[in-house]
Structure 1
Amino acid sequence: MSNWRLLLTRPAEDCAVLAQTLGVRGVVSHCMPLLAIEALDETPEQRSAFAELQRYCAVIVVSKPAARIGLRLLKQSAAPTADLPWFSVGAATAAVLGEHGLRVYFPDSGDDSEALLALPALHRAIAAASAPRVLILRGEGGREFLAERLRGQGVTVDYLPLYRRILPQYAAGELNRRVLAERLNGLVVSSGQGFEHLLQLAGDDWPALARLPLFVPSPRVAEQARNAGAEIVVDCRGASAAALQAALEQFPAAAL
């Protein structure tokens, strides 16, 4: 039995799945989604991108929400996809795409853009095209790292925003109240925006919450958290349940 009692902050559906997975391993958790997914209104740009998928040598999908919304648009467009390689940052997003028969590649280790860019399959897809063009399905805003690196290789990159992430409404002080009431001794965020929302909701309680171990998915988010004053930051090197479980095993909690 683990001594960890964790606050999980993913969107509600993903949070529940993660809590169940951790529960099997004896980890107690409490779900408080700090990200809610709101699909953007369908646009002519979206319809055009899916109707003309043959323009692209690869499609990169950065998250499960992007995969789910993208698949709906793909079904509406009836565009041919047999020869088109799809890429995702992590295994969970790849699983969503793979369930619909798409040819998906993702990094075996590391759920981040850096690991994705190192994939041989992505290099092959780009090299095989005379004028490589890549479509990236993502949320509103987000990092420019992928596009910058690909453009540096002579690739034309089109972004297609499909959704926005918003902070659900909570009363002031609710975050700290839950941490205390549930006797939580660790916090988990799955993205940089998730951490921003954690910081925003914590408000004046952040100095106390910053003393709790904080589990993050990447070096980038780890640096973001440390710069904000988080005292104990554990980089899970991935946002998957397996990555979190491995980090929990390597960083055992003290007995409560």
Structure 2
Amino acid sequence: MKIILAGSTGLVGREVLELCLACESITSIVALSRRELPASVTQNPKLKVVILDDFLSYTDPVLQEINGADACIWTLGKTPTTDSEAARKVCLDYTLAAVAAFEKVAENNKDGNGNETLPTKKIRFVYCSGAAAERDQTKSLWFIQEYRRIRVRLCLLYGILNVYANSQQGQVENELLAHAAAHPDSFELYILRPGMVLGKEMTLKDRLVQGLAPSVKVDVLAGLMLDVALKGGSQDIFENSAINELGRGSN
């Protein structure tokens, strides 16, 4: 099985990558990254790191690398800042550019009459969103309005205070759901909406955070993302409670 992974330098992405490397069912991993990954992982022969200087542009060589993928696990994102345009670019534009790239791969595998010259696999796209994402773009929100409408995955980690709230999905999710509905033969979508993401080794701070709002340990979240990438899921959207319930028994 061939997996595409984006966001492998982040907390969740690093854990997903470790699980992918250890999974016997996965024979090929293509990590899309702005920079090289540590030698401790790149020495594994089934990992190929593809350096993307611009996540909005997929050149023909990059398209060739992602061709034939069975699934993509997307953990790339940006925590909220005063620069909402930067958050929009990373969370929304980068994600949709990747989706468009997979569609271009499918089109490149067809002749002028629309017949496949090369077999194209239906991509299983597993997206890590957040519990406070807001799908209703007209709704008035009481905190970090723009970011929640875009995506929102906030966490309380390492002394950085963010906030979680039960809400609906954001603009990225709307776009992904619309794309999945329009391309049922080539795009299979799953969305995970974790609360606060905690480290594997529970610190005192993590234990305090657990009592403040919905949370999930990173290994539980990553385990379920990989499980869904491998097998599909019983539902399209996994809220934090479902992630905790199903993630502990995954893999």
Question: Under TM normalisation by the shorter chain, which class is it?
Answer: 0.3 to 0.5
TM-score by length of 2: 0.36
Q: Higher relative CO (CA 8 A, sep ≥ 6), structure 1 or 2?
A: 1
TM-score by length of 1: 0.35
Greater helix percent: which structure?
A: 1
Larger radius of gyration: 1
